[in-house]
Amino acid sequence: MPADSHRVGSKGRISRRAALAGLAALAGTACTPLEFLAANAPAVFGAYTRRTNIAYGPDRRHRLDIYEPDKSPGEHRPVVVFWHGGRWSEGDKSQYRFVGGALAELGCVTIVPNYRLYPTVKMPGFMQDCARAAAWAANYAQDLGNAKHFFLMGHSAGAHLAALVTLDPRYFSAVTAPVPYIAGVIGLSGPYDFLPLLEADLQDMFGPPELYPLSQPINFVRADAPPMLLVHGERDVTVLPKNTRNFAAALRAKGATVTSRLYPSLTHEDTIAALSKLARKRAPILAEIATFIDQVS
């Protein structure tokens, strides 16, 4: 993506190890071959039940994990679907147990799906997976009696998925009827307004060129969009903060409800690392999420 909207690493790819560097820096630990171990280890002992590798579709990547909090049984437990980042080409749900645990602490039933990655699929492949997983999760929320407390969330590319599947109705319409009710959307360091595309892999991923506008959440803002919480670090050089600024401004201009939080000292990785127990003192992002969910619910 262009230097003024979305930068990438030295080989044109946001590496998983680069994201881990952010986690490690905040947590005071070094990156190891086990990578997300430092962030995930404290979450293993959380007050929740974790069920893994539940199928929501036929592909081997069509699998999700569910984090059910032990507290607040019964109705009015929000259901949150969280999609991981990784430039639409990397990442796995198993690396984000700390996210599932953090949201479970808030009393949220948390669903963390995998989705097919580039180059196995291009857009709309991962968007179709996003809609399929969210539709599965919405049915699960319905079974819990929480259909009106259903949220979509993501970091980086995952924030793009959450925003676009919410705003562009074609993806849900292709997999479910009626389109599920979405109470709110939470985006951390998301790319929402990142044209033009300069890198070859992104051109291939979102192309041909006449389809590029369909990849941009900012092109689908509307007055009846669900409330959104958009969080970004001002020191983000991977997905520049203008993505959140522009997207929030466009939503407000349409009359939609949006809360944007830009943290001067945070990088791209820091916004997700702040959900880990070892890094929460750096920024109150988990508290921001809790307040948003409480207010919307």
Highest mean predicted confidence (pLDDT) among 20-24, 40-44, 145-149, 207-211? 207-211
* pLDDT tens digits, 115-172: 999 999 999 999 999 999 999 999 999 998 888 999 999 999 999 999 999 999 999 9
SS3 73: coil
Residues 21-36, mean pLDDT to the nearest whole number: 38
Is residue 71 very low, low, confident or very high in pLDDT (cuts 50, 70, 90)? Answer: confident
Bridge partners of residue 67, in order along the sequence = 50, 110
Residue 74 has pLDDT above 90, yes or no: no
Q: What share of the chain is helix, strand, coil (3-state, %, to 5)?
A: 40, 15, 40
Could you tell me if 191 and 245 are in contact, meaning their C-beta atoms sit under 8 angstroms apart? no
Say what the pLDDT of residue 44 is: 62
Q: Which residue has the tokens 């259909």?
A: 147
Is residue 176 very low, low, confident or very high in pLDDT (cuts 50, 70, 90)? Answer: confident
Residues 91-116, mean pLDDT to the nearest whole number: 96
Give the pTM: 0.88
- CB-based contacts of 248: which residues, under 8 Å, 6+ apart? 228, 230, 258, 260
Residue 7 has pLDDT above 60, yes or no: no
* pLDDT tens digits, 221-256: 999 999 999 999 999 999 999 999 999 999 999 999
Say what the pLDDT of residue 73 is: 55
- CB-based contacts of 175: which residues, under 8 Å, 6+ apart? 128, 131, 132, 135
Is residue 75 very low, low, confident or very high in pLDDT (cuts 50, 70, 90)? Answer: low
Residues 62-85, mean pLDDT to the nearest whole number: 87
Say what the pLDDT of residue 5 is: 42
Residue 297 to residue 295: CA distance in whole angstroms = 6
Residue 246 to residue 218: CA distance in whole angstroms = 8
Residue 77 has pLDDT above 90, yes or no: no
Amino acid residing at 272? I
* pLDDT tens digits, 179-217: 999 999 999 999 999 999 999 999 999 999 999 999 999
Residue 45 has pLDDT above 80, yes or no: no
Domains of the chain (ranges, CATH numbers): 16-296 (3.40.50.1820)
The rounded mean pLDDT for the chain is 87
Residues 73-77, mean pLDDT to the nearest whole number: 65
Say what the pLDDT of residue 37 is: 54
Residue 160 to residue 216: CA distance in whole angstroms = 8
